[in-house]
Amino acid sequence: MNAEIIAVGSELLLGQIANTNAQFLSQQLAGLGINVYFHTVVGDNAARLEQAIKVARTRADLIIFTGGLGPTKDDLTKETIARLLQRKLVTDEEALRSIEAYFARTNRIMTENNKKQALVLQGSVILKNEHGMAPGMAITIDSITYMLLPGPPKEMQPMFLKYGRAFLLEKLGQQERIESRVLRFFGIGESELETRIQDLIDQQSNPTIAPLAGDGEVTLRLTAKHRSEAEAKKMLDETEKKIVERVGAYLYGYNEETLFEKAIQTLKAQKKTVAAAESLTGGLFLEQLTAVPGASQVVRGGVVCYTNDVKEKVLGVPHAVLTADGAVSERCACLLAENVRTLCQADIGISFTGVAGPAPLEGKPVGTVYIGISTSDNRTDVYPLTLSGQRDAIRVRTAKYGCSFLLKALDGYR
């Protein structure tokens, strides 16, 4: 099955938003073994949408549309497809009732134009919208499958995952299945990782191994094709084993898992708590950690010690250390980690001090970073780093390094 994704919406052509729907659907279709050969974006214009559909029909047997299912006169995806395929639009009673219930529940008056959202292509399979009003639909005509999904990602994504995917799986029947698995690495550069497994990448065609780098992390996507899901998984296991033998020390997780989720999980499993003293990261580390649901069980809190005064008065770093060694120093990182641990009564204290830029500080260049990890009264490790890049990138990578050192302290890598 070869697919094209057509996003409908002038806001995309004005650059007000990026086409993240196409990204999401591409990932999903790749997981189902469906090739995506084109994405098209077209505005809220019937003639140009019609033209885009005509082009897509020459090169795809699955066309997925996002957007244009709403109540306004700008929403014309269904209408245009109906005209082109000479299909009627009929009211779906269940969808209509659900729209009416939505208005009743929110104490709002349903205007007439909202009924338009319950219109569906006659004979299509309805994809229920559990997070909004307009239903999606799918229909196969002349060997081409059309799937219509709403534009807002918070409606589109759950609809596809629950109903759209099931429709496609049934359609695919007993064809070859694709299984993929993403291995997530931190603390090793993309080129070094690639060099170490270059021969595996070159030799293997099934599973394939595709590296991708971003935000200081490197991932390897392994993709196996087989008629049997179990066999595909076994192939992935074997390839993973070979990779782990070489670079397993840097592997921290799988698929969509983040370093911060892994840290929260590991802390929970070990019933340990953490507190942080953040200078250059300004709260980023704790923010990322507490973004994980359930963080409150293991994150005590911490201090954003952006100024030397706060380092001294709140976290008890002696004035002499700040003048002799400076705030950006091993000694300061060490004391911050120890003192935030005792101040917040946590099992582990972690500290971040350094120069995020744009200007140097205390004569130390941009990218100089010290991360302290205090695990008890007798043990504090300080890791010096030299990072390159802009202010934001330095802060983000510093927080991630902190998370990786925390995992190391917990012996929680992998």
Q: How far lies 234's CA from each of 136, 204, 223, in Å?
A: 36, 15, 12
Specify the residue, 154 or 246, whose C-beta has the smaller distance to a second copy: 154
Helices (H), 14-57: 20-31, 46-57
For 373, the token pair is: 């990890």
Dihedral pair phi/psi, residue 155, rounded to 5° = -95, -45
- Of residues 266 through 325, those in contact with a second copy by CB under 8 A are 275-276, 278, 281-287, 289-291, 293, 295-296, 299-307, 309-310, 313-314
DSSP string spanning 351-374? Answer: EEEE--SSS-BTTBPTTEEEEEEE
Quote the least distance from Cβ 28 to a second copy, whole Å.
8
User: Three-state SS string across 92-112, please?
Assistant: CHHHHHHHHHHHHHCCCCCCH
Tokens describing residue 277:
């003293």
For residue 306, the minimal CB distance to a second copy (Å) is: 4
Which residues 6+ apart lie within 8 Å of 182 measured at CB? 219, 220, 221, 222, 254, 255, 256
Site for a second copy in 36-75 (CB under 8 A): 36-43, 45, 48, 51-52, 55, 59
Q: Is 172 in the site for a second copy (CB under 8 A)?
A: no
Among 5-13, 91-99, 144-152, 258-266, the segment contacting a second copy (CB under 8 A) = 5-13
**Residue 196 is a binding residue for a second copy (CB under 8 A):** no
362 binds a second copy (CB under 8 A): no
391-409 and 259-270 helices, crossing angle to 10°: 30
- x/- letters, 209..228, toward a second copy (CB under 8 A): -x-x--------x-------
Q: How far is the C-alpha of 212 from the C-alpha of 128, rounded, in Å?
A: 35
Q: Which of 78, 87, 177, 395 binds a second copy (CB under 8 A)?
A: 395
| Candidate segments 22-30, 82-90, 122-130, 246-254, binder of a second copy by CB under 8 A | 22-30
Q: Which CB atom, from 88 or from 319, has the smaller least distance to a second copy?
A: 319
Whether residue 207 has a cis bond before it, omega within 30° of 0: yes
Select 237 or 392, whichever has its Cβ closest to a second copy. 392
Under the criterion CB under 8 A, does residue 22 sit at the interface with a second copy? Answer: yes
Name which of 332 and 344 has its Cβ closer to a second copy.
344
66 to 125, contacts with a second copy by CB under 8 A?
Answer: none
Q: Which is nearer to a second copy, 212 or 249 (CB)?
A: 212
Cβ(372)–Cβ(349) below 8 Å: yes
